[in-house]
Structure 1
């Protein structure tokens, strides 16, 4: 293991430690549990949040245009997730944690 890989692992451990401290105060933070259990990095989660922001805007636009079928958004999310995460677990965790509620309340219908 080289120095760069070791530094990445230390950074990931520090990130997971911060999440664990938040979990101590609120055990309902299911997304944080998934992040830690699956070894997801902070950068991967930032990309996930950016994707959710983009998809939330798409959902609003599509609803304004009269769309009633949002399965393509679910597909887009599932192919964009880090490979270690399960789409069903992510959606349920985000709903429990009340993250991006309009988006995930719509997507859960297609599971």
Structure 2
């Protein structure tokens, strides 16, 4: 990537983090946003994470409907798919605090 492309990428990241900070002003309990900013996570990485959560949530609902009560294999799949910049424990706690995908992260919290 050339210098201009690198600078543009950094500006985009700063603009994204600024939008998150503005949301946090009205709701300081947005823990996931805090993690995103602290770890320099991009908007694209967050979108990938949200897609992962949606997929995992669907899988868990399907597994519950089939009578599953142990979600360790799903948790392991989540860990394997989680973007490298995310710490699983911090993400799970932040999502629970922010009430994102609550049933999923309640189960994952038991696996920690």
Please indicate the TM-score interval, normalised by the length of the shorter structure.
over 0.9
Cα distance, 1:55 vs structure 2:
0.5
TM-score normalised to the size of structure 2?
A: 0.95
Give the paired residue count: 111
Separation in 2 of the partners of 1:72 and 1:7? 40
Cα distance, 1:4 vs structure 2:
1.0
Q: What does residue 80 of structure 1 align with?
A: 81
Unaligned runs of 5+ in 1: none
Cα distance, 1:78 vs structure 2:
1.4
Give runs of aligned pairs for residues 5-16 of structure 1, distance below 5 A.
5-16=6-17
Q: What does residue 19 of structure 1 align with?
A: 20
RMSD: 0.9
Give runs of aligned pairs for residues 51-66 of structure 1, distance below 5 A.
51-66=52-67
Separation in 2 of the partners of 1:103 and 1:31? 15
Separation in 2 of the partners of 1:86 and 1:4? 28
Separation in 2 of the partners of 1:8 and 1:76? 30
Q: What does residue 41 of structure 2 align with?
A: 40
Cα distance, 1:60 vs structure 2:
0.4
Separation in 2 of the partners of 1:15 and 1:52? 20
Runs of 4+ in 1 over 2 A off after TM superposition: none
Unaligned runs of 5+ in 2: none
Cα distance, 1:89 vs structure 2:
0.3
